[in-house]
A and B are shown apart, each in its own frame.
Chain A
Amino acid sequence: MTFDEVSLERSKGFVQALQELKNLRPQLYSAAEYCEKSYLRSEQKQMVVDNLKEYGVRALVNVVDHLGTVAYKLTDLYEQQSSDIATVEQKISCLCQQILACQAFTGEECLRQHQLFTATTRHRKHYTLPKFVGTSVESSSKLKNHFIPSHVEAKPLPHTSEGTAAPKTLSWHLASGSNSSPNRDPPHAAFRVDGSKAFEMTDEETAAPLPLSSYLQAAKRRPTINVASRTFAVKDPLEGAKTVSGFESSDDSGQREICQPPARNKSILSALFPRNKTTFKPKRLVVS
């Protein structure tokens, strides 16, 4: 039997018991009228009374029995209905939780899709290596070839094919660190430059100054020292002092020793964050 059939049977039993209890009333009324008439008609009244007493007791017991049956069936039906309601309540709470979970999930999915369309982080050009590292290496190698103690020329790195100035310092440093040509001293090494050396520097070195060229300039000119600051002014007798690049130099001496530049990190940092983008006029300087 299914659950519905059991519940139907229970409800039918209750209804039947209630109907039987309702049918007891006319039976008791008919019995009371019969006993009254028989007591009035018969001559043996004591026997009628005794019979009436017994019938009354049995009727009362019967009514109590019927009432108990009805109460029991009604209580059983109530318990069944309450259990059904509890299961329905559980199912409804499960549905509520499922809907809440679906809402939360859809909300998270929407947020995730929105986040996908956010702008990606942008890096500064200083921290991105150029694609033409090889070309920059070649250009730096060319620069190294020209870097001869007798005749020094400092040429700027060629522009890229895109027409923009490349982040020369980082790539140049990388190239200088990777390549070790015998003709060229590393930029961090100390070197001596005579006074007769001449060099020229184009004005294309505006995006990022080359530390090597600055070294050369410092070697041929009289660098004014500003130990406190990292920049030094290069005095041109014709044009006055100009700040070229940033590195610390030693004392002003006749030998024009350019001391070993400071740590490479500082030079890289100073190269990466140039302060002045001044344009240089190309000049040939002769240091006596």
Chain B
Amino acid sequence: MTNAVNVGIAVQADWENREFIANISLNIRRLFDFLLQFEATTKSKLASLNEKLDVLEHRLEVLEVQVSSVNTAMLY
């Protein structure tokens, strides 16, 4: 009788532990999904920022060339 009760208690504890582990695992997976999503969005934002910077850099180069040509024209 006592053995059955002990086995019952042990099984119940095991189930609780398993439930706890399952909850922990689920939350860790949610955290992992959040990290993946965060990484994708951050990557896209940084890529757009990099593209804007490239465009601005090209425009600045064009302006620099124009100004230098005007300066050379003024000198001559």
- A interface residue numbers (CB < 8 A to B): 46, 49, 53, 56-57, 60, 63-64, 67, 71, 74, 78, 81-82, 85, 88-89, 92, 95-96, 99, 102
Q: Is the pair A64, B67 in contact by a Cβ cutoff of 8 Å? A: no
B12 at interface by CB-CB < 8 Å:
no
User: CB-CB < 8 A to B56: which residues of A?
Assistant: 85, 88-89, 92
Residues of B within 8 A of A (CB-CB), count: 23
Given contacts A49-B17, A78-B42, A85-B56, contact A95 B63 (CB under 8 A): yes
- B28 proximal to A (CB < 8 A): yes
Pairwise interchain contact B66-A85, C-beta atoms closer than 8 A: no
**CB-based contact A99/B63 at 8 Å:** yes
A92 contacts which chain B residues (CB < 8 A)? 56, 59-60, 63
Contact of B49 with A81 in the complex, beta carbons under 8 Å: yes
- Residues on A with beta carbons closer than 8 Å to the beta carbon of B60: 92
9 tightest A-B contacts by CB?
A: A92-B59, A85-B52, A78-B45, A95-B63, A71-B38, A99-B66, A88-B56, A53-B20, A89-B56
B49 engages A60 (CB within 8 Å): no
Query: Beyond A49-B17, A60-B28, A63-B31, is A85–B49 a contact (Cβ under 8 Å)?
Result: yes
Apart from A78-B42, A78-B49, 16 more pairs, CB < 8 Å: A49-B17, A53-B20, A56-B24, A57-B24, A60-B24, A60-B31, A67-B34, A82-B49, A85-B49, A89-B56, A92-B59, A92-B60, A92-B63, A96-B63, A99-B66, A99-B67
Majority secondary structure, A binding face:
helix
Contact of B53 with A85 in the complex, beta carbons under 8 Å: yes
A89 CB contacts on chain B under 8 angstroms: 52, 56
**Residues of B12-30 whose CB lies within 8 A of A:** 13, 17, 20, 24, 27-28
B9 to chain A, nearest CB (A): 11
| Bound Cα distance from A49 to B27, whole angstroms | 19
Q: How far is the CB of B11 from chain A (nearest CB, A)?
A: 15
**With a CB–CB cut-off of 8 A, which chain B residues contact A46?**
13
Q: In the bound complex, how far is the Cα of B39 from the Cα of A71, in angstroms?
A: 10
Residues of B within 8 A of A56 (CB): 24
Least CB distance from A35 to B in Å reads 13
Q: Which residues of A contact B46 (CB under 8 A)?
A: 78
Would you give the shortest CB distance from B7 to chain A, in whole angstroms?
16
- Please, could you name 22 A-B residue pairs with CB atoms under 8 Å apart, sorted by A? A46-B13, A53-B20, A56-B24, A60-B27, A60-B31, A63-B31, A67-B31, A67-B34, A74-B42, A78-B45, A82-B49, A82-B52, A85-B53, A85-B56, A88-B56, A89-B56, A92-B59, A92-B63, A96-B59, A96-B63, A99-B66, A99-B67
B35 within 8 A of A: yes
In contact, A67 and B42 (Cβ under 8 angstroms): no
How far, in angstroms, from A60 to B52 measured CA to CA in the complex?
38
B31: min CB distance to chain A, Å: 6
